Every structure is written in structure tokens, then in C-alpha cells.
Structure 1
């Protein structure tokens, strides 16, 4: 599944004020919770934190792809967030993160999850997309860049 198929404007957040990894993951969880009928913010946050305990999802170049697996849903939700200031994320290159693409996926859909992660990696494989994303001034502009990046 491609990022453009699951990202919605209401889950695209531009220039968020967040001073820590935990705070940004809380904002992501609160945003995603509005899309689920039977899953609350706490469950979403815990799924992200459980994955971060395994190892950081900071992939380098100021980008992180936190993801949580959920047992009681068939929905796949993505949240794209940019932060005003880069935050420490324990990324593989030790660089602070200011672009976060979070995924919430059904526990049993492992292949779909991997395909979506690959889609995200492809979008951000060129530094040009990351530069464009960092220049965005609002959520609509950010959303449009991602929608057009995969075409």
C-alpha cells in the first residue's frame, strides 16, 4: 500500500511545536485516534513506544518512521508531521528528526506493512523531497507534496 493511499489531510500536520520525541509521538497518537472507532490515544501511543523500545525508527537525514501494530483493527492509518525544531530521536545517523511519518497497521498484515514502509522510503530516497517538505508553510502544502511525490 502506498503512502498516498492512506494519508489524509486531517492526518497531515505542518510545523508542530514539539520539544521531544515523546511529545511528538503523543501528538501523532491523538491525531490518529480520531480515525479509529475502537482504539484510543493511549493504545496508539503505547504501540509506537513498544516499537521504539526495540530500536529507534529514525532512519537518518532527519526522518523517522515510527509504526505500531494493532490487534483490534483492519484499518491502516498514516500521520505525517513536521516539527518546527528537530528533536532527538536516537536516529541511526545521530541526527535530530523534523519529519515523522507514522503508521498504524493491523497486526496480521505484515506484508502490507512492509510494502507501505517501502513506499515511504522511496518517497524520501531523494533529498529533494525532504527539502520541499521542510519548506512547507501549512498542512495543505505538505499534503500536496506527498500526494504528487509518488506519481
Structure 2
């Protein structure tokens, strides 16, 4: 599995003013709707429901919100960069400025976990995260994300 197979270029966005986790989820819902045709409100509700089980902030300014969604054929993702980090309730208490969201079919088992592991491994790379933070252009971010996996594979 490659990041390019779950992330479309049009599902990458930079936001200058997101003030809260809920607002971020609303932006992700809108992005998932425009990139993949997912219902924005259903997406937000699914993310909030998953987040209620425990925060998906994994540390070092990175969050991996994810949810299972009806009507999907495979795992898809969105990548969001925030110009101003927000509190996310992360394990290390650091504010989040990178959020890679994954959406999987309701019946997805291993595929969802493999995608989550791939994204987690990719964003654990400190030098990649530094490059992402230094390049606030969505096309550049997409290239960095998809090429980084190719190099690491």
C-alpha cells in the first residue's frame, strides 16, 4: 500500500485559521466531501465519535483522526496542515499542526489498520515533518508525502 493510493492531491489543504478540534473536523469533513464525495456532516460525526474513545493526537504536533464510514469502497485520506497549531489533547500535550485523516469502509479490517500504520510510520519521520512544515503549498505537500513513502519502501 502506498500513500498515493489513499490520498488524492485535491485532498491536501493548508488552513490559516482553525481555532479548535471541532472546527478542524468540520474543515476535514468539507475536504472529504469535495475530494471523495463523502457527506461532510456524516464525516464530522464519525470523527467526533471516534475521538470520544480517546484523542488521536499521536505526538510531535501530529494527529491521525480516523473513522469508519458507510458507502466507501476502500480507505481514503485527507492531509491538513495548520498555520496555527491547535490543542488536540495529544499524548505529549503538544498542539497539533499536521492532521492526516483516514476514512475506511465500515467492514474494513486489516486494510484500515495497514493504512493507519503506514501513515503513522510516515509521519514519525522527523525530517519529513520538518519539510512539510516548511512547505505550505498543497501540491508540494502531496509530493513530499507520496515520494517519502516511495523512498522509505
Between the aligned partners of 1:23 and 1:113, the Cα distance in structure 2 is 25
Alpha-carbon distance, 1:137 to partner: 2.6
Please tell me whether the aligned partners of residues 2 and 120 of structure 1 are also in contact (alpha carbons under 8 angstroms). Answer: no
Give matches, 1:78-97, under 5 Å.
78-97=77-96
Structure 1 partner of 2:97: 98
Q: TM-score, normalised by structure 2?
A: 0.92
Secondary structure of the 1:104 match is: strand
Shift of 1:34: 2.3
5+ residue gaps, structure 2: none
TM-score where L is the length of structure 1: 0.93
Q: Aligned residue for 2:144?
A: 145
Moved >4 Å (runs of 4+): none
Q: Structure 2 CA distance, aligned partners of 1:150 and 1:142?
A: 13
Unaligned runs of 5+ in 1: none
Q: For residues 53-79 of structure 1, what are the alpha-carbon distances to aligned partners after superposition, in whole Å with 9 as ceiling and x for unaligned?
A: 000000000000000101332242200
1:122 shift after superposition: 1.4
Partner residue of 1:5? 5
Contact 1:63 1:97 in 2 (8 A): yes
Shift of 1:150: 0.4
Paired residues, number: 150
Correspondence for 1:50: 49
| Alignment match, 1:76 | 75
Change (3 A) 1:134 1:15: farther
Contact 1:14 1:136 in 2 (8 A): no
1:57-108: CA deviations, max 9, x gaps? 0000000000010133224220000001100000011110000000111011
Q: 2:28 is matched with which residue?
A: 28
Deviating more after overlay: 95-104 vs 8-17: 8-17
Offset at 1:113? 0.5
Q: Is this contact kept in 1: 2:56–2:65, CA < 8 A?
A: yes
CA contact (8 A) 2:75 2:111 kept: no
